[in-house]
A = this chain, B = another copy of it.
Amino acid sequence: MTPARGPLRPLYAQASGSPIRAMLALAGREGMVSLAGGHPDPALLPAEWLRESLLEVAGQLQGRSLQYGATEGLPALREASAALLHQRGLAAQAEDVLITTGSQQAIDLLARVLVEPGEGVAVESFNYPAALQAFRFAGARLVEVPTEAQGMDVEKLEPILQAEGPRVLYVVPNFANPTGAVMPLARRLRLLELAAHYGVTLIEDDPYGELWFGEAPPPPLAQLNQQAGSPAQVAYMISYSKVVAPALRLGVLLAPAGIARGVVLAKQAADVHSGSLEQLTLAAMLTSGRLHSHLDSLRPAYAAKGAVLAEALRMHCGDLLEFDEPLGGMFIWAKLSNALPLLPTQAWVDFGLEHQVLVVPGAAFSISGAAQPWLRLSFANPAAEALRQGAERLGRGLRKLATTA
């Protein structure tokens, strides 16, 4: 009758929290340089712009604004978000977009409405851990697609689709976390072909697409799909976390009508609607027209930080680390030399404490959690001097590791 277990389902009783969070708990230590967090430099957060919009919202606040809102989102924010997507080249009206409590919620709701427990979800070799967690909690079987310098190796995908039959594929084509890779146009078109042919729903997560340094990335899969007459099912999401502020838990989902309907039903039961004050504030920010100038200042700022870290790594880590120059986003994905031992995640926490520089090991992003010869180095948060210091400490620590190996 009542099985002998504690209150929690085994899925949750046995789950572990994000290893990155454990590391980030150390980031505030005196003298620590953290290259571990994927969060922006506070100096780059638009406090002034947000404050002005907050004041505007405060001035217009009435009883009506404080009622329950629509699950799909505040109309003004749906309008502004659709306009933003339209500027990116997507066909989108306000009624096509859903406002979610961050992109995390979009991933989570899509996992819940698309994935029957036990069904496969195809993912890249390395992923944002909380995305994998959302799929796991939906009971998904994670299916790895080989991934390299240009992201998911779509040429290797077809036999995997045939053998494993995933119904869903999750991909981050622009400056992915952690690899920083950009999927080239040809691969995007091929991926759409395969998705359409095999009936695989694509979840395209695009939080970093605006943070390009040299040139804008190729068009989103969702746009290419639209242009081809929508042969595939593509659910496309953007986030305001990286381009406005993480504290505003707000993202936008553009999905085919049938999928959107399922997501709305799921969201009704998940949180009814995303916070209204934040939606009002963000809507005011977007209608101020200042987003573009904000992005125009963000890109070179991140590009400069990326360049500082890259140069410092070359100087201090020499041939112990191999990496591509960052083209956008927040991360350098660095391959560790064969001369270095493969360490488990905990050992990298110890490394961080010993050398006063936190880095996230590739294991944290892998499906299996097994040790990997990779490090994710975030240049988004620390100031330039801290980036240089971090690279120097990393170099020193790696050289010590190499001698002990």
State the A residues within 8 Å of B (CB). Answer: 1-2, 6-9, 12-13, 15, 17-18, 21, 39-47, 50-51, 54-55, 57-58, 61-69, 101-102, 104-105, 108, 112-117, 130, 133-134, 137, 162, 165, 167, 198-199, 201, 233, 241, 245-250, 256, 258-259, 261-262, 264-266, 268-278, 281
Contact = CB atoms under 8 A, between A and B. Distances in A.
- Could you say which of A6, A51, A67, A105 has the most chain B C-beta atoms within 10 Å of its C-beta? A67
Contact of A277 (B117, B264, B278): B278
A246 B71 CA distance: 13
Contact of A58 (B17, B40, B51, B250): B51
A47 B18 contact: no
A185 B101 CA distance: 38
A4 to B, nearest CB: 9
B246 A67 contact: yes
Q: Determine how many copies of this chain the complex contains.
A: 2
Contact of A54 (B40, B61, B113, B130): B61
Given A58-B51, A258-B7, A246 B105 contact: no
Given A102-B271, A133-B269, 12 more contacts: A2-B167, A7-B114, A7-B262, A8-B261, A12-B262, A17-B265, A39-B68, A67-B247, A68-B247, A101-B271, A117-B117, A247-B276
The 6 closest A-B pairs by CB, nearest first: A42-B63, A247-B276, A275-B275, A66-B245, A1-B165, A12-B262
A280 to B, nearest CB: 8
A67 B55 contact: no
Contacts of A68: 39, 241, 246-247
A246 B116 CA distance: 33
A108 B12 contact: no
Contacts of A105: 270-271
Given A40-B67, A63-B42, A130-B268, A275 B248 contact: yes
Contacts of A249: 101, 271-276
Contacts of A112: 12, 137
A104 B269 contact: yes
A58 B61 contact: no
A70 to B, nearest CB: 9
B271 A9 contact: no
